[in-house]
């Protein structure tokens, strides 16, 4: 399997939001030391914003709710674990954006986390 370039790298002129997402992934990699985590976050975050067609500053909690509970590429309803991972990923990105002064709120805060069994 050949690694796919990140959209911000593949594009000749990445948007400020693409640059912020790439910076978040770089920071996540340096903090966690896990390439797998970075790849997983990238596989969730890039498509979320591309499919939504909205910038991070305009995302509403209802859009987050629809995505975290939405049917995935496998065509199945997501498990509680998958929902939790999706929320954690998106929430982590928004915490980064807040720290960088790019947004003032985290739309995932309004979404209930699944209960662990």
Q: Cβ–Cβ contacts within 10 Å for residue 84, how many?
A: 16
Tell me the two tokens of residue 109.
């805060």
d(Cα 1, Cα 85) in Å, to the nearest integer?
24
pLDDT digits (tens, 9 = 90+) for 65-80: 999 999 987 899 999 9
Nearest to 64 by CA among 112, 17, 104: 112
| Domains of the chain and CATH, by start | 14-110 (1.10.150.130)
Q: Cβ–Cβ contacts within 10 Å for residue 38, how many?
A: 19
pLDDT grade for 32, boundaries at 50, 70 and 90: confident
- Of these ranges, 33-37, 61-65, 75-79, the one predicted with the greatest mean pLDDT is 61-65
pLDDT grade for 14, boundaries at 50, 70 and 90: confident
Report DSSP state, residue 113: P
Q: Which residues, in sequence order, are CB contacts of 41 under 8 Å at separation 6+?
A: 24, 25, 28, 89, 92, 93
pLDDT computed for residue 12 by the predictor: 60
Question: Quick one: three-class SS letters along 60-71?
Answer: CHHHHHHHHCCC
pLDDT grade for 116, boundaries at 50, 70 and 90: low
Helix, strand or coil for residue 37? helix
């Amino acid at each position: 399997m050949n690694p796919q370039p990140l959209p911000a790298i593949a594009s000749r002129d990445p948007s400020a939001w693409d640059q912020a997402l790439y910076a978040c992934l770089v920071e996540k990699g340096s903090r966690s030391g896990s390439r797998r985590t970075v790849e997983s976050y990238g596989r969730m975050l890039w498509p979320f914003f591309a499919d939504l067609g909205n910038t991070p500053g305009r995302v509403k909690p209802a859009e987050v709710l629809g995505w975290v509970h939405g049917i995935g590429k496998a065509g199945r309803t997501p498990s509680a674990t998958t929902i939790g991972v999706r929320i954690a990923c998106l929430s982590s990105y928004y915490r980064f954006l807040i720290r960088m002064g790019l947004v003032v709120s985290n739309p995932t805060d309004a979404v209930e986390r699944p209960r662990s069994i």
